[in-house]
Amino acid sequence: MALSSNEEPEEAPIPTKRLRWATQRVKGKSGSRKRGSIINRLHHRGSQNEKKRDSGGGESLGTDLGTVAEEPEETKPSEEEDNDRDKQGPRTGLPLKHYRRNKIRTAKYTPISFVPKNLWYQFHNIANVYFLFLIILAFFSIFGASNPGLNAVPLIVIVFITAVKDAIEDYRRTVLDNELNNSPVHRLVDWNNVNVSTDDISLWRRFKKACTRGIISTWKKFGKNKEVPGKEYAERAMDEPRESFETRATRRASAFSAHSQGASFEAGDEIQMTPVPSPLPRPDGLEVPEHDRPKTAFSYEGESAPASKNFGSLINPDLPVTGKPRFHQDYWKNVQVGDFVRLYNDDQIPADVVILSTSDPDGACYVETKNLDGETNLKVRHALRSGRKIKHAKDCERTEFTIESEPPQANIYQYSAVARWNQHPTGEDMAEPISINNLLLRGCNLRNTDWVLGVVIFTGFDTKIMMNAGITPSKRSRISRELNWNVIYNFIILLVMCLVSGLVQGITWAQGNNSLDFFEFGSIGGSPALDGFITFWAAVILFQNLVPISLYISLEIIKTCQAFFIYSDVDMYYDKLDYPCTPKSWNISDDLGQIEYIFSDKTGTLTQNVMEFKKATVNGVPYGEAYTEAQAGMQKRLGIDVEKEGARVREEIAQARVKMLLDLRKIHDNPYLHDEDLTFIAPDFVSDLAGESGLEQQQANDQFMLALALCHTVISETIPGDPPKIEFKAQSPDEAALVATARDVGYTVLGNSEEGIRLNIQGQDRSYKVLNTLEFNSTRKRMSAIIRMPDNKIILFCKGADSMIYSRLKPGEQPELRKVTAEHLEMFAREGLRTLCIAQKELGEEEYQRWNRDHELASAAITDREEKLEAVSDIIERDLTLLGGTAIEDRLQEGVPDTIALLAEAGIKLWVLTGDKVETAINIGFSCNLLNNDMELIVFKIDDEQVATAEAELEQHLKTFGITGSDEELKAARKSHHAPAPTHAIVIDGESLKLVLDPQLRQRFLLLCKQCKSVLCCRVSPAQKAAVVQMVKNGLDVMTLSIGDGANDVAMIQEADIGVGIAGEEGRQAVMSSDYAIGQFRYLQRLVLVHGRWSYRRVAETIANFFYKNIVWTFTIFWYQIFCDFDMTYLYDYTYILLFNLAFTSLPFIFIGVLDQDVSDKVSLAVPQLYRRGIERKEWTQPKFWLYMLDGLYQSVVCFFVAWLLFRVAGFVTSNGLGLDDRERFGVYVGPAALVVINLYILLNTYRWDWLIVLLVAISVLLVWFWTGVYSAFESSEYFYKAAAETFSQASFWAVTSLSVILSLLPRFAIKFVQKVYFPYDIDIVREQVRQGKFDYLNKVDESDDTVSKESSTTSSDVPKPSKHTYYPSIDEDQRPIYPPSVAATATTHNARSQTGSDGTDFTRHRQSLDQTPLDVPTVRPSFDRARPSFDRMRMSMDRIRPSFEASNDFTSAALLTRLESTQSFGPVRSRRTDVSSDLR
């Protein structure tokens, strides 16, 4: 392109050959000095590789910021002159707008606020407030507490332990915050940033900084100087709970790079801003090796960059250059709005930055957004056209512009601003729009780009990543929430007991003439009313165990142990990632045992998100051999033995692979072809490419592969080696799979150059000029590349969803090819493959130039730029010629079908919420057993987007089930937990979901979904996922679990009762926000059906028994008060009361909550129906609570009154005549008996009687007698002295103990016997079968960690091999350039209900030439007459299956595609173009 007359020619940066750092830097100042000395010694060489990274000044060298002074080499004007360079006089005051700092704090506390803030949070717990109140009461001796200090110990211990735990967690956050805030960045310093003021620091901030400095200095004096945890800790911390994803350390190991120092360069534009290579000890000096350096797509070989049109420049050449500003290493926390920053390859972005210029002549750069949205695929961003001349510090000093920006907002896909400046020397006011494509977001990483220079627009909590950083909500388990009611019930019982005590005591004093008058020295209160009041509070202290603080301590211990056992389960350990199941929330393990609904993402959760090119159709000829999960699923439903069939087919595929590799190497010994990477197994394609089926098919195959190699936005990177390897980084794993297949068959993308894109085609290097790239978006569902071919022709290549391509084909042409290709695509989609179409169009020179002018106008538009670009792109993408189609497999994860089937047997309903389109979701639904051919699919697709239409369709479907959606039906639905009949399934897209989630329709839609076996919500946003989860959770009052692996799943993970994140090989934002993190979906079955069921039953049994034991203990004291006029006399020695929960009963209760096991883990998985008891929430119910309370009340009566009856007639004496009828001795008769009863009761309620539980119960029982004997042997026990010796020697003591135990436990034993023999639960029957040996076979199977059933989990590859796309993430389909399959119904099977116009009975035989055969082409036997096992298998399967969803015209069936003409055409294209052109102008 020609330069405009008023623009000076700009020299392009000289390409620098650079090598990534290959050595580990020596840390500290000595290492910096060593590198500095090496660089200075060699500086005289003066090679381009040693030029400075910064411009206009030196660079601080080393890791200690600012340790090397930088002397400017120009005479600098005074500061006053510099500040007044705009000739406006001295400035005073502060900026009008105060921007937030870039320092991030995700920690809750600071050293100043920790103690008060932590106490404030802890005493939000009502139980802590209650126990604090009791402690305060106990300090008043009037209420009869014997040792108030001792009473305070349990609460102090709990508060202290919790505070320490919180401090440790918060310290970890603080360490990560400091690591991030102190990360290095190159920032322009020594210049006047008019957006901020360095003097505007509040007094509070100064105070905090002074405190922090004081604490740090004190710590250094008294503590050891420990090295701050580095990268290893930071990477582990990615899995810490409730962290901001800002705290993840993804920077390279060597964060600070040393740079050469030297003289200032005057030839500013010639300074290449790339790091110097790492000094390597080579014999030939410090030359960078040419042959083995990694090459990126931006390795430009030419001397100059392509010229560009003049879009103005932000530089004001009239401003003086002081030479003072320079780029200096600084901390992230010091970055401010308006700062210029310079970023290098692999750097993390410190703030939201508008890109001004990049190392690419076209201003492009690539970012990885893993930290932002969980995706590792690269995204393209572009520099402002007006900023591409800004490359050095002196250029930044000359800039003069303003940015009018929208306020901070959380949408990471949208941004709008305008840069305005006065163009010099013309004086013209100019503006350039800034969109999200010009913005680098904080937390992203720069990739495949040497450098970027930008200006900071948002900092700190104003950045998009921080506005999206939702903290995981604090979740409490359902039992814990219901426990509040039980605690309230006990409060009420306690209140009644205290009220009775106070009333009786007051009335007794008021009566007079009773024993109180003779044995008490007057009343404490002085009046009956006051005496009763004091007795009330004394009773609160005495009966406080009725609401025990020990229950909360025990539950914390139990749930911590349960979390540890979940973490330690080797059967949930994913060795590929070295990742165990990691609990994030330790207090909700019991909720795992009550899950009724699971909401799952699809891509990356059910599937591996590993895209493999499997099949293609070119010029009507199908190619490719594969055996997919969906195909195996179909054959399984037909009764075929898929294990034998799969083995046979894989053998065929292995033979075909060998033949294809031999044939490929005959054509060309491709050095970039690696045998293990080949996924497209089609020897007949290679034969046709060699010309065996004629010239026409050879040319078609060649053009098809050329289209795959040219129509993309992939970046290629050459990995040195022998042979070399080329890897592709793309915005979508689908796209990388297409380009990788082109590489494997000889059409290799080598990279970009100033000529365009460089290909190696069967050994010959060719360059193709890329004129325009029309990128994919969710509306267009296609992408195009306009290429100037070597013969100077201009060809547009387009790929996208089949419906989009078919609607843009040239009307009236290729009717036969369209029909056959549509049938092939349909078969591919039925196999569960993701399909898309490839087409092309030849453009005339004049037509292209005319369109390109419109395109440039649309690109420069300030308002509605996206809409205008889409309209212009739509014009050129018409009248296309169909080339063929592709089919890519997104393979299911191992064990997914088995896991889903097992969960369904357990009564759990699984819904799929995905961003994929409807057809893809249906294919996966069949593959993983969610759908089957006997189901009728209810497809919701409301075209007019009217609530009334949605309501009418809802009513129609509700009639099918005979319901209306009333409130009474909802109440019934909330009580019913039965799985629906497998007769119906619902499929709904995002637009329709938006309508049915309307408050008027939500209830009816929910009831309709409850009647269906499976629900698939497609094309849904993250917010809609969360809304669906909320609708089910609140509407049906059920326990829900959400599982996903990407950032778009975070909302539903946080909304569900349990959130599970899959720790894939991509970003871990879902893991960060989850409650449990697992490596694979299949581990969910063990997490839920084994650990979840165990935890729920254990916790429920523990709580019930805990309330029971406190009733027994407290009411024995209460019964005693009857005989002492409720004066709150202690029945037991005070040590009994203290040790009751701490020692005498603690171990068995903790055991039952941690280790009790009704059946083994293998039996739990073999009989998943056992889980249904948890879904129905029968382990913890209010009737069970009251039954245990009544049982405790009965046993307290037995334990007290059996002893009382013994002493009622007459007292006993010891051998030396001492009486045993005093309070302390009578307490020994009652207390140990009650404790023996309680411990044996626990043993009776325990399922697993092994040596450990028997030992613990025995220890607890013996400990009571042991303590009584030891403690009473000392005179310090006062009235308790020799109580053990005197009571244990009496036969009556052992008789009372034995009789109390038998009478107390007899009813419970009898009830258990009757229930298990005559009314057994499922678990009782299964336990009996285990005893009979019916499950012994489970112990004989040698199962490895990752064993999965081969019945339904088959692989589509012939041999296991490492995937070449394992680093790709789970991507939202809205952002995916390649669209998934759009074919679901079959055109080749008969379906009387078909609305697509296809009777399903026609079978079109392939003809030699599908549309026209050139006369000069000799007739050769077509390649598609050869045996095609995969093709024939699929034909046979399709002819035998009659899916009900074929009836819907919402799917793009082959028949529909065949009839689909260019519906996007509106008449003459020229007139349409004229209209758009006029709009743009």
Indicate which residues carry an active-site annotation.
Answer: 601
Buried b (16+ CB within 10 A) or exposed e, 498-524: bebbbebbbebbeeeeeebeeeeeebb
- 1363: closest CA among 723, 781, 335, 609? 609
- C-alpha of 262 from chain center: 48
- Interstrand relation of 326-331 and 184-189 (parallel, antiparallel or unpaired): antiparallel
Q: Report whether the peptide linkage leading into residue 116 is cis, meaning its omega lies within 30 degrees of zero.
A: no
Q: Beta partners for 616?
A: 623, 886
Neighbours of 1003 (CB within 10 A): 17
**271 vs 393: CA distance, rounded Å:** 11
- C-alpha of 219 from chain center: 37
- 357: closest CA among 334, 330, 387, 381? 387
Structure tokens at 378: 């690269």
**170 vs 158: CA distance, rounded Å:** 18
- Nearest-5° Cα angle at 995, 989 to 999: 135
- 732: closest CA among 1372, 1377, 1380, 297? 1377
**758 vs 726: CA distance, rounded Å:** 13
For residues 1056 and 1040, the answer to whether their CB atoms sit within 8 Å is yes
- Site of tokens 């959380």: 410
- 187: closest CA among 383, 304, 52, 336? 336
User: Backbone dihedral region of 934: left (phi > 0), alpha (psi from -120 to 50 degrees) or beta?
Assistant: alpha
Neighbours of 496 (CB within 10 A): 10
DSSP 880: B
Structure tokens at 462: 């104003």
- 588: closest CA among 1175, 1074, 1148? 1074
Helices (H), 323-419: 370-373, 393-398
**Contacts of 1008 by beta carbon, 8 Å cutoff, 6+ apart:** 938, 954, 957, 958, 961, 963, 965, 986
DSSP 1168: G
What Rg, from alpha-carbon coordinates, does the chain have? 39
**775 vs 378: CA distance, rounded Å:** 14
**1204 vs 1193: CA distance, rounded Å:** 16
Q: What is the 3-state secondary structure (H, E, C) of 912-961?
A: EECCCCHHHHHHHHHHCCCCCCCCEEEEECCCCCCHHHHHHHHHHHHHHC
Q: Report whether the peptide linkage leading into residue 723 is cis, meaning its omega lies within 30 degrees of zero.
A: yes
**1264 vs 1286: CA distance, rounded Å:** 16
SS3 call for 830: helix
Q: Count Cα neighbours of 380 within 13 Å in the Cβ-side half-sphere.
A: 20
**Contacts of 330 by beta carbon, 8 Å cutoff, 6+ apart:** 65, 184, 185, 186, 187, 189
Q: Beta partners for 438?
A: none
